[in-house]
């Protein structure tokens, strides 16, 4: 996997960020096991909590197309901001061991490790009585 290429795709995704309230663009590039990359940007809303983060946009694009197996995600912001807890949890559902790369717009990487390192003891489908289908 070319990490800088994934970061570049995340960077490009920030161009579509809809951010009239925060002016804080976020881009994500989610690499599926088959090599397909799903990108996402943050999409804000006048009802602030309705906002969806870039990571979850990328994830739901993939899952809605039947893709559930992921190997990495690159998340890019101007100051290498870290994925929020909600996004960590949602990614963890599908691939706790996926690689997470956090970078700034210049490609400087501040974190490159497994998602499980960002969400220790994350809640999984196995904690429920029945596995997710
Ligand atoms: N944001 C993301 O897109 N991903 C995160 O993991 C953290 C926060 C967005 C949401 C909102 O549009 C802006 O960053 C400021 O919170």
Contacts 24+ apart (CB under 8 A), 93-96: 93/124, 93/125, 93/132, 94/59, 94/63, 94/68, 94/69, 94/70, 95/69, 95/70, 95/71, 96/122, 96/124
pLDDT at 129: 76
44 is catalytic: no
130 has pLDDT over 90: no
Q: What is the pLDDT of residues 34-53, one digit of tens each?
A: 999 999 999 999 999 999 99
- CB of residue 87 inside a 6 A radius of ligand 1: yes
* Domains of the chain, first to last: 3-132 (3.40.140.10)
- CB of residue 89 inside a 6 A radius of ligand 1: no
Q: What is the pLDDT of residues 55-93, one digit of tens each?
A: 999 999 999 999 999 999 999 999 999 999 999 999 999
Does the pTM surpass 0.85? The reply is yes
Residues linked to residue 29 through DSSP beta bridges, in sequence order = 39, 74
Ligand 1 binding pocket mutation candidate from 11, 25, 26 (most atoms within 8 A of CB): 26
Phi, psi of 117 (to 5 degrees): -70, -25
CA 67 to ligand 1 centroid distance, Å: 23
66 and 57 Cβ atoms separated by less than 8 Å: no
- Hey, which bits of 1-133 come out as E strands? 27-32, 37-41, 70-77, 99-104, 109-114
Using N-to-C axis directions, what is the helix angle for 85-92 and 54-63, rounded to 10°?
Answer: 20
């Amino acid at each position: 996997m070319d990490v800088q290429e994934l970061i570049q795709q995340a960077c490009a995704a920030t161009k579509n960020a809809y951010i009239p309230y925060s002016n804080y663009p976020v881009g994500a590039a989610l690499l599926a096991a088959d090599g397909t990359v799903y990108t996402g940007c943050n999409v804000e809303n006048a009802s602030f909590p309705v906002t969806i983060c870039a990571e979850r946009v990328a994830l739901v694009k993939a899952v809605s197309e039947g893709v559930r197996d992921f190997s990495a995600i690159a998340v890019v912001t101007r100051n290498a901001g870290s994925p929020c807890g909600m996004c960590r949890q949602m990614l963890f559902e599908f691939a706790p061991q996926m690689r997470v790369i956090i970078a700034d717009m210049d490609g400087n990487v501040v974190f490159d490790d497994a998602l499980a390192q960002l969400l220790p003891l994350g809640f999984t489908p196995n904690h429920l009585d029945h596995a997710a289908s």
